[in-house]
Structure 1
Amino acid sequence: MSLAWQQTDDLPVQTAATIGSGPHRLSADVVVVGSGAGGAVMAYELAREGRSVIVLEAGPFVPSSRFTERYPQMMERLYQDRGGQRNEDGDLLVLQGSCVGGSTVVNAAAAFRTPEYVLRDWREKFGLSDMTSEALDPWFTQVEQRLSVHVNAPHEINQNNQVIMRGCDKLGVSWRPLARNIKNCALTGFCLAGCASDRKQSMLVTYLPWAMHHGAQVIADTRVERIRHKNGKATGVVATTIDPKTGRKVADVEVEAKLVVVAAGAVQSPLLLTRSGLTGQSGQVGRNFACHPSVGILADFDEEIFGWRGATLGAYCDEWDHPDRGGFILEFAMAGADFMAAFSPGIADKHLEFMGRLKNVAGMISLIHDENAGVITTNDRGEKAIRYRVTQKDRETIRTVIKRSAEIYFAAGANKVFVPTYAPTVIEDVKDIDRIVDALDLGPGTIGMTSYHPQGTCRMGANPQNSVVGPDGQFHGVERLYVADASLFPTSIMVNPQMTVYALSSKIAHGINEQGSELFGN
């Protein structure tokens, strides 16, 4: 088929407004829970082999013509918990897309392959012998070609990046232009609010339309309550369609299927499995949560930067990208005033002063190779609970991140550097970096962190005693139940995860398709 772009307004997505009052009893070869990076790829790869596929998405269907490029408005429409999802301590904002297309709609399009040292850990510690760069190369290459992944050209690297790159060059610190899944970028700088020009190759404009071309159905506003299973086999799902405007139930939906694919993300997937009584042999469902807790370091310059103009991500620093060298990367990124107002330092006059100089501010964020220390569970009220505290080791990595970021900024000519501690911390001289940063507490509730990359709560492995799913993506002990999202990752991968999810989902789908008649009887 032609992998051509299609107007998202024209996509035949069922919603709460169109589905009718039900109850609806549907059947398909495959039901996919979630329409993000993992679910969309699975839907397409299975549908194009002639399988009937139904995709259920808890979030709304928002076509790109309704992307307003206003961050507060789009966070409310496109993000989980309206952009307010946090850990129990409240110091980690966990940002996830909750819409048709999932987090791929609201990410910054960074396209990294899984680092080799991560794959080596997966092979040695979890028995995933086929997780090599060579074995995964065909899947990465396929996805990269389909999604127009390319290394940023000079015109895609904005002034914010140029300033930070200047500091790196003066210190002899390595940096590289980022690769992104984008076609003829419009350089608007609103990636995190959805790409109104459809240049970003999210699942909303690629794999989901392609899947629907092959007959897949997508139903939005529909939360899967539990997975049905009998005699060690998954048989379908029970779901509820909710009106996103009123929060009221519109319809009950049941899907009988020969295969169930869970791809709801590393927070919702383990909660769904637990609600369904599927806790696994290892007791690891919901455990081993990691998220690359990111701190945003900002700096004030004399020169005007207008850091929000152009591509959101242009380049990154890879000097410390291996655990033996530090275990983190720095991505050079800024956003506009309506986004920065929520994350900028200071209160009252100090906040206004900072915002008044926003055009002179540069920004970068860190991604660390964090330990899998968190748990996704429910609290005493039965509500979702993200129990995640940065470990002592990871706190020291964050301390190093702050130091290295400040050094780069001052080398680039910064006047001062802002550290996102809740008690405002400002560094005004390179000579003060160690003294100020070494004195920071960095314990729970002391510094604001953000994550776009939850992962690891249904880890993959060969041994059912320490993992949730097998090397083929199938749930240990339950046939015809697969997981295909970032919850599969046995460990944190340090880099932006979407490409790894695409590759693993493609690989898992290929394995399912090879079984053919054994699974589907035709």
Structure 2
Amino acid sequence: MTAPFNFGQLKFLKALTEALFHEAEMVISPDQVVANICDLFAKVGGTKLDEIRLSLTATEIVLGPLFAASRVETRAKRIRDRLQNSQFDLFQDMARLRGIIYACYYGHWQPGVEAGDQDANAANPVHAQIGFTLPKFRQRGAGEMPITRIDGREIDPAHVLGAADLASEYDVIVVGSGAGGAVAAYNVAAQGYKVLIVEAGPFYPSHHITHHELDMVAELFKHGALQTSTNRDFVVFQGRCVGGSSTINNGICLRVNEAGRTHPDAPDVLAQWASLGAPIDAAAFHASYDAVQEKLGIAAIEPRSGRHNGPHLLNGWAAYAAASQDPKEQRAVADWFAKNFGPPGTATACAYCGYCNSGCAYGRRMGMAQTYLPEACRDFGARILPGTKADRIIWQMAIDGRREAEAVRLVLPDGSRALVRARVGVIVAAGTIASSKLLDRSDIAGTGRNISLNVASPVVALMPEGVGGDAWDEDQMSSYVDCGDYLLESHFQPPMSMASLMPGWFADHSARMKNYGRVHSAGILFPADRRGRVKDGKLKFQLDRDADLPVLRRAMATLAKVHFAAGALECYPALTVGQAVTPDMDIDAFFESVIRESDDVTLSSSHPHGGNAIHADPRHGIVDPECRVHGTANVLVSDASVFPSCIRVNAQWTTMAMAHYATGRGDPFR
């Protein structure tokens, strides 16, 4: 494997690591941290590696001459003055290198006989430093779910093709194997079509997934979980593997405007779509939700799976709302999430190991790779081609004058190209960004516009000694509050991910991580509606200063108050500078003063949607109300890119329902 960085870059990375841990105890060496960074980026490679090399060069220039040769105290002061406390957007972007370095310290993994070996990491010094125990060594008492693997749900490897097994033609080619692609592939295969499912990422069954976070993010996420918007204001998390994001998400399943589980004042999403020229049959759409629910066993999780962090948010909200004079807050809905983890109450239910976002190593998640995909292959003859990019759709002219997909040009794992004929049609379901790029390369005009994000940002809370329990020993996300304008969602991460989102610098960051067993965490989620577009193959996205930033400030202030109502001593919102918030502060005024623009806070999204919106009029949308691309005879889009506006809740279930709506109510090609 080619080394990702040259000698000068390695020297600078070491100097930067030493400075970021100034006055903090390190239990592994700076050289080991740099080795972990190299291992991560050697696996990620591609354009993301090029970007990080450029960022290193620029950061070295900003930090001044002879940075690596300076005393560590001098280096720390330069970082504090020029990066941590900078108000320049470019310098704030560079400051996010700190998250990579902290992640590669706390994501350290001892080498073992096998990759991801928990036995070799029983005495991992970084885990010991923060008081963390790997799932294999956790003690579960009577009535608790054992952390064991469930077999029998995986895709049969015989149904996963290599380039040599690829036929020259199929009835239907489905591009993408995630929430939209898997449901669509199952439905059309069940109608008797010979289906090929093309997936850009690798085939990674559950028994290959480990708790080595650095390995898993490199293998299973697009760009190693480092994909950003063009302005670097947002990290966009997307799966890039067979099963897509359903393999590495928290399994949250919320319907739009579900009675009793959605704030009564929340906008009516389907009515909004209709007003935008996208009439959807509400009864049929909810029937599609029902069909997906039945197959995945979607149900409210068992409270024991979110036993610490989940009640923290729910109890904190109850105490906060009881004192609120705001009628909207009094009407808020607070509840446990419904998920496709299990199903609950069975021996195969979620074992709440806390590693949802790096893949379920126990085969318990009812994701696409455990349900729709293996059934489509086993029962109806579909086949999966991983590691393959769909480059473009090749057209011919249909009798009625519309364009008709004749074939799809593929880029195979070895870089060679193949042209595979689609006798009946093509379904595009590669996700908002990739679907927009594929359609654009295929000469469909106007793609990638009006993209929405559910924008997230965390607030971590320090609890008193002995209060609340170890939040890392449970499901990552378990409860939520729908406040109408935004949601609050409980969440907690394993060490590497928690380190990357934990605010703070130098000894402050180290001290906060040493309190790993005492912190609870939650995040805000608010809709940024139709603010983005795909430009030159990348997501360009900008919050509206007047419409979005006030919601962001209010949501973060509210969440801090909820933490304090639950008994927190101080809070650490995800601010670039890393300030702490205490109960005696004017919290609203604090957030008003410190969040002036997007760069002042760490923002992310796991569910971009829009870009190829439904519209009855081809002048204003890419697909018609049946999800067929306007002006084509046999190309459908069945992923979240067809959503005309932001749905404001987690997009997984709605994406699956949309795919069923497009393909499961009859033959979509007739």
Change (3 A) 1:514 1:470: closer
Deviation by residue 1:70-105 (Cα, 9 ceiling, x = unmatched): 222111010001111101111210000000000000
What TM-score, normalized by structure 1, do the two folds share? 0.90
Which residue number in structure 1 is paired with residue 412 of structure 2?
Answer: 241
Change (3 A) 1:165 1:129: closer
Which residue number in structure 2 is paired with residue 196 of structure 1?
Answer: 361
Residues 332 and 365, structure 1, Cα contact 8 Å, conserved in 2: yes
Which residue number in structure 1 is paired with residue 479 of structure 2?
Answer: 315
- Describe the SS at the equivalent of 1:372: strand
1:391 has 2:556 as partner: no
Deviation by residue 1:489-522 (Cα, 9 ceiling, x = unmatched): 000101111111111111111355165xxx4xxx
1:370 has 2:528 as partner: yes
What is the distance in 2 between the residues matched to 1:377 and 1:255?
29
What is the distance in 2 between the residues matched to 1:196 and 1:410?
35
Which residue number in structure 2 is paired with residue 227 of structure 1?
Answer: 393
What is the distance in 2 between the residues matched to 1:12 and 1:296?
42
1:177 has 2:177 as partner: no
Q: Which structure has the greater CA radius of gyration?
A: 2
- Describe the SS at the equivalent of 1:12: helix
What is the distance in 2 between the residues matched to 1:430 and 1:136?
48
Residues 87 and 387, structure 1, Cα contact 8 Å, conserved in 2: yes
Residues 58 and 99, structure 1, Cα contact 8 Å, conserved in 2: yes
Which residue number in structure 2 is paired with residue 144 of structure 1?
Answer: 293
Matches within 5 A, 1:113-152: 113-115=255-257, 117-130=268-281, 132=282, 134-152=283-301
What is the distance in 1 between the residues matched to 2:155 and 2:273?
41
1:316 maps to amino acid = Y
Matches within 5 A, 1:148-159: 148-159=297-308
Residues 5 and 206, structure 1, Cα contact 8 Å, conserved in 2: no
Q: How many pairs does the alignment contain?
A: 487
- More deviation, 365-374/485-494: 365-374
- Describe the SS at the equivalent of 1:370: strand
- Describe the SS at the equivalent of 1:235: strand
Residues 187 and 310, structure 1, Cα contact 8 Å, conserved in 2: yes
What is the distance in 2 between the residues matched to 1:369 and 1:115?
14
Change (3 A) 1:9 1:32: closer
Residues 240 and 253, structure 1, Cα contact 8 Å, conserved in 2: no
Residues 243 and 367, structure 2, Cα contact 8 Å, conserved in 1: yes
1:168 shift after superposition: 1.0
Matches within 5 A, 1:293-304: 293-304=455-466
Percentage of pairs with the same residue: 28
Residues 418 and 426, structure 1, Cα contact 8 Å, conserved in 2: yes
Residues 153 and 371, structure 2, Cα contact 8 Å, conserved in 1: no
Deviation by residue 1:404-447 (Cα, 9 ceiling, x = unmatched): 10110111111111111211221112542022111023414221
Residues 155 and 369, structure 2, Cα contact 8 Å, conserved in 1: no
What is the distance in 2 between the residues matched to 1:40 and 1:514?
15
What is the distance in 2 between the residues matched to 1:229 and 1:511?
26
1:12 has 2:158 as partner: yes
Which residue number in structure 2 is paired with residue 47 of structure 1?
Answer: 189
2:200 maps to amino acid = A
Residues 207 and 363, structure 2, Cα contact 8 Å, conserved in 1: no
Residues 389 and 412, structure 2, Cα contact 8 Å, conserved in 1: yes
Deviation by residue 1:227-255 (Cα, 9 ceiling, x = unmatched): 1112211122000112xxxxx52553523
> Residue 383 of structure 2: which of 208, 211, 217 is its match?
217
Which residue number in structure 2 is paired with residue 163 of structure 1?
Answer: 312
- Describe the SS at the equivalent of 1:77: helix
Which structure 2 residue ranges, 5 or more long, are not aligned? 1-149, 259-267, 322-329, 343-348, 398-402
What is the distance in 2 between the residues matched to 1:359 and 1:469?
49
- Describe the SS at the equivalent of 2:496: helix
Which structure 1 residue ranges, 5 or more long, are not aligned? 243-247, 322-326, 379-383
1:463 shift after superposition: 1.6
What is the distance in 1 between the residues matched to 2:195 and 2:152?
20
What is the distance in 2 between the residues matched to 1:367 and 1:332?
11
What is the distance in 1 between the residues matched to 2:448 and 2:581?
39
Q: RMSD value over aligned CA atoms?
A: 1.8
Which residue number in structure 2 is paired with residue 338 of structure 1?
Answer: 496
Which residue number in structure 2 is paired with residue 413 of structure 1?
Answer: 567
Residues 407 and 419, structure 2, Cα contact 8 Å, conserved in 1: no
Runs of 4+ aligned residues of structure 1 deviating over 4 Å after TM superposition are none
Residues 399 and 437, structure 1, Cα contact 8 Å, conserved in 2: yes
What is the distance in 2 between the residues matched to 1:124 and 1:68?
46
1:347 shift after superposition: 1.9
- Describe the SS at the equivalent of 1:62: coil
1:179 maps to amino acid = A
Change (3 A) 1:253 1:64: farther
Change (3 A) 1:5 1:40: farther
Residues 123 and 129, structure 1, Cα contact 8 Å, conserved in 2: yes
What is the distance in 2 between the residues matched to 1:41 and 1:129?
19
Residues 271 and 377, structure 1, Cα contact 8 Å, conserved in 2: no
More strand by share: 1
1:6 shift after superposition: 3.5
- Describe the SS at the equivalent of 2:291: helix
What is the distance in 1 between the residues matched to 2:278 and 2:441?
28
What is the distance in 2 between the residues matched to 1:206 and 1:58?
20
1:27 shift after superposition: 1.0
Deviation by residue 1:5-40 (Cα, 9 ceiling, x = unmatched): 83426333435xx423x9x66211110000001110
Residues 13 and 217, structure 1, Cα contact 8 Å, conserved in 2: yes
